[in-house]
Amino acid sequence: MGNSQGRVAVLLHIVGFGKGGIESALMQWLRIFDRSRFDVTLSVMFSSPAFEQHFRARVPADVKVEVLADRAWLTRLEARRYAGRLGKFGRVCRDVFNTAAVHPYVRKRLATLARQHDVLIDFDMSLRRWVRSFDIASVAVSHFSFNARFGHRPRKVRRLSHQLRDYDRVIALNQQMADEAPILFGNELPRPFLLPNAIDVDAIRARANEPAAPRSPVAAPYIVSVARLDELQKDHRTLLHAYARLLQDKPIVEHLVLVGDGAFRQELEACAASLGIAERTHFVGHVDNPHALIAGASLFILSSRNEGQPMGLLEALAHGKPVVSTDCPTGPRDILDHGRAGILLPVGDIQTMADAMGRILSNAQLREEMSAKALARAQHYGIEASKERLALCVGNVLKARHHPKAALALEAVST
Give tens-digit pLDDT for 355-380.
999 999 999 999 999 999 999 999 99
User: Do 146 and 216 belong to one domain?
Assistant: no
Domain co-membership, 205 together with 191: no
Exposure string over 182-196, b if 16+ CB within 10 A, otherwise e:
eebbeeebeebbebb
Confidence at residue 119, expressed as pLDDT on a 0 to 100 scale: 97
Domain match, 75 and 223 both: no
Q: What is each CA distance from 314 to 99, 301, 412, in whole angstroms?
A: 37, 12, 25
Pair 113, 94: CB distance under 8 Å: no
Residue 314 pLDDT greater than 60, yes or no: yes
Shared domain for 370 and 400, answered yes or no, is no
Domain count, the chain: 2
Judge whether 3 lies within some domain: no
Q: pLDDT-derived band of residue 69, with 50, 70 and 90 as boundaries?
A: very high
- Cα(52)–Cα(174) distance, rounded to whole angstroms? 30
Asked, for residue 337, whether it belongs to a domain, the answer is yes
Q: Which of 40-54, 143-157, 350-364 has the lowest mean pLDDT?
A: 143-157
In this structure, the answer to whether residues 144 and 239 fall within a common structural domain is no
CA-to-CA distance for 132 and 137, rounded, in angstroms?
10
Prediction pTM value: 0.83
* Mean residue pLDDT across the chain: 92
d(CA 307, CA 176): 11
In sequence order, the β-bridge partners of residue 44 are 14, 67
161 and 284 in a single domain? The answer is no
Q: Judge whether 1 lies within some domain.
A: no
Domain span including residue 189: 8-198+383-410
What is the predicted pLDDT for the residue at 308? Answer: 84
Do residue 78 and residue 184 come from a single domain? yes
304 has pLDDT over 90: yes
Q: Does some domain include residue 2?
A: no
Q: What is the mean pLDDT of residues 50-79?
A: 93
Same domain, 354 and 396: no
- For residue 131, being part of any structural domain is answered with yes
Residues 66 and 152 in one domain: yes
Q: Give me the phi and psi of 143, to 5 degrees please.
A: -100, 0
In a domain, 318, yes or no: yes
Q: Are residues 42 and 152 in the same domain?
A: yes
The angle formed by the CA atoms of residues 95, 101 and 102, to the nearest 5 degrees, is 75
What long-range pairs does 31-36 form, CB within 8 A, spacing at least 24? 31/60, 31/198, 31/200, 31/383, 32/198, 32/383, 32/386, 32/387, 32/390, 33/387, 33/390, 33/391, 34/387, 34/391, 34/412, 35/7, 35/62, 36/7, 36/412
H or E element: which one contains 217? none
- Spell out the residues 6+ positions from residue 30 whose beta carbon is closer than 8 angstroms to its own: 12, 40, 42, 59, 60, 63
On whether both 208 and 184 belong to a single domain, the answer is no
User: Does residue 159 sit in the same domain as residue 237?
Assistant: no
The answer as to whether 415 is a domain residue is no
Three-state SS at 192: coil
Q: What pLDDT is stored for residue 190 in this prediction? A: 78
Q: For the domain that residue 244 is a member of, what is the CATH number?
A: 3.40.50.2000
